[in-house]
Amino acid sequence: MLITWIWIGRFAVIIKNWEINGKIALAPLAGYTNPAYRMLMKEFGADLVFSEMISAKGLLYDNEKTWELTEVEPEEHPIAIQIFGGDIDSMVKAAMMIDQKTSADIIDLNMGCPVRKVLKAEGGCQLLTDVNKIEAMVREIVKNVQKPVSVKIRAGINHKAINCAEVAKAAERAGASFLTIHGRTQSDMYSGKVNLDYIKAVKKAVTIPVIGNGDIRSVADAQRMIDQTGVDMIMVGRGSFGNPWLIRDLKDHFEGRPLQPAPTSEAKIRMCQKHLMMLLAIKPEKIALLEMRSLAAWYVKGIEHSKDFRQKLNLVSRKEELLSLLDELIAKI
């Protein structure tokens, strides 16, 4: 009998022979969790990182930009590459390609994205309306790949159709190695507060590891989720925007170290500059600057004189301009 996971000591978990030391996962975030973002969060202590969601059909069509999303740097392991789609055959073929052609450690199936574009493709949360299809999809993928397969879900399509525990059981029966549950429904999108009862229900329903996701913006949020749900790991998403120090604080907390002082305004701006340079190392300047605009706004949020900086941010067209703007902001604080 294959043992797909087992706890070792306080913080290590083995998932189908891959050991994850720690409790902190970085969520798959479309438009954000590229290799630069993931490596930065790894530097601060993330134990498991996820790629941006990747279209199964994009891989099958051999789309160059889609394949770029599968690129993994050596420093990123362990890493899960996440795929989405609504057609079982396409998802199986895409998973096999990830299995055979990438250095990913885990193949993650997106059954929790709430955005309409993904729903129209019958992927993401739309799959939650058909538990039998979920079980069939997971089973076929597990049967055809060597890497462990995980599933990310939400509580249900809406509050009248909460079926996360049923979905979790189906995924486990089909051979999923672990699950991630975001404690909102599709109809919630990102409004309101995460419901920890939904996460707790999933943890109670299965024996495989469960990662809890949603509204982790502080050490207190993470500890509350663990205390109230019993999840094996927590997943940080939007709370990491402009704030890799959250990952550091979580790492210190879980490993019993005192929390370090909060970063200064200058430290935040310098980190923004570092993040920009990491992006420029992997992407053309124009694309890196476009992606950095929203991130830079997060880094400087709450800093004195940042309003003027944000107004100028959308006008930059060269890296030197953005670096200079950031230096000017440092000089003002």
DSSP 152-196: EEESBSSTT-B-HHHHHHHHHHHT-SEEEEESS-TTTTT-S---H
291-328 b/e (C-beta count within 10 Å ≥ 16 → b): bbeebbbebbeebeebeebeeebeebeebeebeebbee
Q: Which of 277, 274, 279 is nearest to 263 (CA)?
A: 274
Annotated catalytic residue: which of 113, 125, 164, 272? 113
54: left (phi over 0), alpha (psi -120 to 50) or beta: beta
Tokens of 244: 């890799």
Q: How many Cβ atoms are within 10 Å of 156's Cβ, its own excluded?
A: 23
**DSSP strand pairing (12-15 vs 5-8):** antiparallel
Cα gap 21→155, rounded to integer Å: 27
β-strand partners of 149: 107
Q: Would residue 164 show up in a list of annotated catalytic residues for this protein?
A: no
Residues annotated as catalytic (active site), given as ranges: 113
